[in-house]
Amino acid sequence: MDIFEALRESHDRQRSYAVALIKTHGDTPERLEAYKQLKAELHAHATAEERHFYIPLMAFDNGMDLSRHAISEHHEMDEMMEELDETEMSSAAWLITAKKLSEKVHHHLKEEEQKFFQMAGKLLDNKQKESLAGQYQKEYKAQLP
């Protein structure tokens, strides 16, 4: 398995969790569970992806800008989750922010898969792609609650 396949596995989970989240209603166990699931997945993925994909890409001139952009989008998602943590789950404001988060997740993953992966594929050799996958997966598992 290479780094792109490893990242895509989490991307698929993020998409389904983000979709499930915005289908929930009010201050319910379903909403709490869906949010906890998405939050845990985003955190584990972003931490492992930054350390074992974006930071290694920063070693290349062409990798610097895309890495910075992706990491700044991770921070935007973190800020939205902080906002959700501080908002009443039953309020309309909570769902508005959750929808923004879901849109940001979908935008970010699409951009990674359609633009960043192609660029990174040219910068990393096959051996790096495989070793980064192993490091990413180990870190990802360590970050999950």
Q: pLDDT-based confidence at 110, cuts 50/70/90? A: very high
Sequence-ordered alpha helix ranges (H) in 22-125: 29-49, 55-57, 61-85, 92-111, 117-123
Q: Which residues contact 142 (CB under 8 A, 6 or more apart)?
A: none
Q: How many structural domains is the chain composed of? A: 1
pLDDT of residue 113: 97
| Ramachandran bin of 26, using left for φ above 0, alpha for ψ from -120 to 50, beta for the remaining angles | left
What CATH number is attached to the domain comprising 127?
A: 1.20.120.520
pLDDT of residue 21: 96
Burial 28-47 (b: 16+ CB within 10 A, else e): eeebeebbebbbebbbbbbe
Q: What is the pTM of this model?
A: 0.95
What is the overall mean pLDDT for the chain? Answer: 97
Containing structural domain, residue 25: 3-143
The arithmetic mean of pLDDT across residues 109-124, rounded, is: 96
DSSP-assigned letters across all residues of 14-51? HHHHHHHHTT--SS-HHHHHHHHHHHHHHHHHHHHHII
